[in-house]
Amino acid sequence: MFKLTAKSNKARRGELATLHGVIQTPIFMPVGTQATVKAVTPRQLNEIHAQIILGNTYHLNLRPGAQLIEKLGGLHAFMNWQKPILTDSGGFQVFSLSDLRKISDEGIHFKSHLDGQKLFLSPQSCFQIQAELGTDIAMVLDECPPFPCDKVDCATAVDRTIRWAKEFLGHAEHSGFLERGGQVFGIVQGSTYSDLRVACSQALADLPFSGYAIGGVSVGEPEDEMLKQVSYSMPHLPEDKARYVMGVGTPVQLLKMIGMGADMFDCVMPTRLARHANVFTPYGLMNLKNERFKTDEHPIMEADNYTCKHYSRAYLRHLLMANEMLGATLLSIHNLHFFLDLMAQARAHIEEDDFGLWSAQWINRYQSGVSG
């Protein structure tokens, strides 16, 4: 399970033991929604020291189907990834299908975005799908309120999220999933209502989850509001359990949330921006389609990844201008490595107990956009 190994003020250094290995935290988790991190192979993920990736219950159950994946040896064998996997419950994806879903206390009735087939997702079926996938960490089914959201409606969603969390955990316990070493994380909801966030955090903290996630952030609310809600939720979560902020974020946001006590993050940003020619550097984002890179023989930056060790900005720009698939792969490798290396740096500075000073200097440099 989770072991706290060092602290620097509120920033935490830890280890999360799973059936497929020990995860060093803080950690960023590449998103492999459909059993693949877009444009990147598992071998390449290993080379940039990815420790854990995400799969998605909603998408994988629609296509190719959880039972088929189970017959083929589970998600790890299916996609040839032997390290830990966390599966999102699919609640957020169903939330995004606002015109195709109906929520009740029993679960969520919705239509497939692929073919319009009528489907139903309950805490029991959500757990069963993730168990069939063979996940290391299963996320409970939750109701993600939209932004903006009426407080009465949000309170209803929070109450439902807590009830579903209890039911989901019960199925995990009775099935032997937890006894076999599987883990279940609860999810805090509450939109931008701090009192509801606190109440949800406290209610879930009373339940024996392996870890706790803060969900429903970065769904349209201003950045300062998102950070505020994370900061309000964090102190009410158990100190001895992993804390995961879902679906975020930028490098600056990650460092700020590590400073609040967060341990785990996921986001499609590194690969999505890579597919649109954007790369991360210590001085901010760089768009390689810019004309000034046409003859630039330098790497994106000095970094220990395949892209930066072997290719110039000029060559990468050429691939992008020619719409060659290799461009998306090479930029994705760099961006994912940038996020993973940032987490490695954060871990080192927490151990040195100077995380606050280092992160402030890092953020200042990144936001200034001026190289040394």
Q: Where are the domains of the chain?
A: 2-266, 274-368
pLDDT at 198: 97
b/e code 106-135 from CB counts within 10 Å (16+ = b): ebbbbeeeeeeeebebbbbbbbbbbbbbbb
Tally of residues, the chain: 372
Per-residue pLDDT of 1-28, as tens digits, reads 899 999 999 999 999 999 999 999 999 9
Q: How far apart are alpha carbons 347 and 341 in whole angstroms?
A: 10
Please give the Cα distance from 117 to 107 (Å, whole number): 17
Is 60 exceeded by the pLDDT of residue 254? yes
pLDDT-wise least confident of 111-125, 183-197, 228-242, 284-298: 111-125
Sheet arrangement for strand 118-121: 101-104, 107-111, 118-121
Q: Which residue has the tokens 């935290």?
A: 25
Q: Do 200 and 179 contact (CB within 8 A), yes or no?
A: no
Give all strands (DSSP E) within 260-328, no chain letters. Answer: 264-266, 278-281, 284-287
* Predicted pLDDT of residue 371: 66
Would you place residue 88 in the very low, low, confident or very high pLDDT band (cuts 50, 70, 90)?
Answer: very high
Per-residue pLDDT, 99 = 73
CATH topology of domain 2-266: TIM Barrel (3.20.20)
User: What 8-state DSSP symbol labels residue 40?
Assistant: -
Is 224 in a helix, a strand, or coil?
Answer: helix
Distance CA 169, CA 257 (A): 27
Q: Tokens 């954007």 map to which residue?
A: 278
Q: What is the mean pLDDT of residues 184-210?
A: 98
Can you tell me the distance from the alpha carbon of 285 to that of 249, in angstroms, rounded to the nearest whole number?
14
pLDDT mean over 89-107: 82
> How far apart, in whole angstroms, are the C-alpha atoms of residue 276 and residue 126?
33
Task: With beta carbons less than 8 A apart as the criterion, state whether 131 and 169 touch.
Answer: no
Which position among 136, 142, 263, 266 bears the catalytic label? 266
Helices in 176-278 by DSSP H: which ranges?
Answer: 194-205, 223-233, 251-258, 269-274
First-last CA distance in the chain: 41
The Cα–Cα gap between 317 and 295 comes to: 9
- pLDDT tens string 338-351: 999 999 999 999 99
How many percent of the chain have pLDDT more than 70? 99
Q: Is the pLDDT reported for residue 277 higher than 50?
A: yes
Q: Which of 33, 46, 9, 103 lies closest to 354, judged by CA?
A: 9
The pLDDT of 134-148, averaged and rounded, is 96
Closest residue by Cα to residue 304 from 334, 274, 346, 269 = 334
- pLDDT band for 95, please (50, 70, 90 cuts): confident
What is the tens place of the pLDDT at every residue in 289-331?
999 999 999 999 999 999 999 999 999 999 999 999 999 999 9
Q: Among this protein's residues, is 266 annotated catalytic?
A: yes
pLDDT at 155: 98
Which pLDDT score, from 0 to 100, does residue 116 have?
A: 87
3-class DSSP assignment, residue 265: strand
User: What Å distances lie between residue 125 and 33, 77, 186, 242, 299, CA to CA?
Assistant: 19, 22, 16, 25, 48
Give bridge partners of residue 27 from the DSSP assignment: 264
Name the catalytic one among 88, 136, 142, 263. Answer: 88
Confidence bin at 61 (pLDDT 50/70/90)? very high
pLDDT, residue 183, reads 98
pLDDT above 50 (res 53): yes
For range 169-194, the mean pLDDT: 98
Which DSSP string do the residues of 58-104 spell out, in sequence order? HHHHHTT-HHHHHHTT-HHHHHT--S-EEEE-SHHHHHT-TTSEEEE
For the chain, the 3-state helix, strand and coil shares in percent, each to the nearest 5, are 45, 20, 35
Percent of the chain with pLDDT over 90: 92
Average confidence (pLDDT) over 226-253: 97
CA separation, residue 296 to residues 61, 135, 176, 306, 312 (Å): 45, 44, 57, 18, 7
- What rounded mean pLDDT belongs to the chain? 96
- Structure tokens belonging to residue 196: 């509801």
Does the structure show a pLDDT above 60 at 372? no
